[in-house]
Amino acid sequence: MKKLFLSIITLILISCGTKKDPNLTYFEKPEDYNDYIIKEQVEVFAAFDEFIHNMETASMEELQKSFDKLYERSKMAVERMEKLADYKKNTEFRDKSKELFIFYKTQCETDLKEMMELFAKDTLMTEADEIRIEIIANAFDAKEKELNNALIAAQEAFAKRFNLELVNDKPL
């Protein structure tokens, strides 16, 4: 009778166990979870670096293409973070990365878009336009640094909590 009771309890626990949402992305290992988030960060940063490089050297058409790429990549990163499940009830690392990606996406919809419009003036750009570009760039840099530092801190806390060794040659 005792064995039958234990078997029934086990079946109940298994059938009532946590069901995974098929719309979310799950990882079993903390290093895979970490790498998934960092891959998104690296790809958004690469798109941003391309945009900045083109700002200095490319035609408006090429600059627009890199801007569009940055926007789409930022949007994709936000969507992926929204579909990323927690890791053993831990959400801080995912949430901080999502905040950074939302920042990039929002900047593409607002300040960076304005900057593109100012650059499009080309030779008609005024001193006031140049000052506005500098204000946008400085505000962007300050907020990006704040959000990136928060992401790094969250990654380090995640690594400590789940005994994950972060390799120094991987971007944070």
Q: Model-level pTM? A: 0.85
- Dihedral sign for Cα 109, 114, 140, 68, please: positive
Per residue, the 3-state secondary structure of 20-39, as one string, reads CCCCCECCCCHHHHHHHHHH
Cα–chain-centroid distance for residue 7? 45
Comparing CA positions, the residue from 96, 80, 83, 92 lying closest to residue 150 is 96
Give the pLDDT confidence score for residue 11 in this predicted structure: 45
pLDDT digits (tens, 9 = 90+) for 1-57: 555 444 554 444 444 555 788 999 999 999 999 999 999 999 999 999 999 999 888
φ, ψ for residue 37, nearest 5 deg: -65, -45
The residues, ordered by sequence, that sit 6+ positions from 65 with a Cβ below 8 Å of its Cβ are 54
pLDDT mean over 104-132? 94
Q: Which of 9-18, 28-37, 63-72, 136-145 has the weakest average pLDDT?
A: 9-18
pLDDT digits (tens, 9 = 90+) for 80-108: 999 999 999 999 999 999 999 999 999 99
Average pLDDT of the residues of the chain: 89
Task: Give me the domains of the chain, ranges plus CATH numbers.
Answer: 29-161 (1.20.120)
